[in-house]
Amino acid sequence: MAAGGLSVLFCGINPGLMTAATGHHFARPGNRFWPVLHLSGFTPRQLRPDEQDELLSYGLGITNVVARATARADELTAEEYREGGRILVAKVERLAPRWLAVVGVTAYRTAFGEPKAAIGPQERLIGSTRVWALPNPSGLNAHWTAATMAEEYARLREAAGAPEA
């Protein structure tokens, strides 16, 4: 779910099994993407996964690094990440969002060959698109709470010049 002229294109790692079954990004009930997106001010209310198309009205979109659905991201190979990164670069060059937000720093490191990348804005540009690595909102990522993730997502929102919804 992406279009040209976006403020931020969020990029998940790959579809989980629930996402693959429903066709809706971040569909697993324990995933914190939708609550964090709202808490960070990107959306005026918490959207449900089946309302993902509403993101376009806020200048936001969603894609994935890897298209193959798995139960866990650690089932993906490094080559799948690298190939996904190449495909993602082509998509970003075509759509030219202001920001690409990769949701998962480990996925970013592997897909783009930047093993020392940290959460936050990256040096990399894809055409004129800036890149930001965000914490993974999966319930398996216990290092980040919804509140601390929302703070990081809000930093991106402010950098992107997106008004608080």
Catalytic residues: 14, 25
Q: What is the pLDDT of residue 24?
A: 94
pLDDT in tens, 40-63: 999 999 999 999 999 999 999 999
pTM greater than 0.85 = yes
DSSP letter for 115, please.
Answer: T
**Above pLDDT 90, what percent of the chain?**
76
Q: Report phi then psi at 83, rounded to 5.
A: -65, -40
pLDDT in tens, 70-79: 888 889 999 9
What does the pLDDT average to over 110-114? 95
CA 125 from chain centre, in angstroms, equals: 16
Q: Tell me the pLDDT band of 3, cut-offs 50, 70 and 90.
A: low
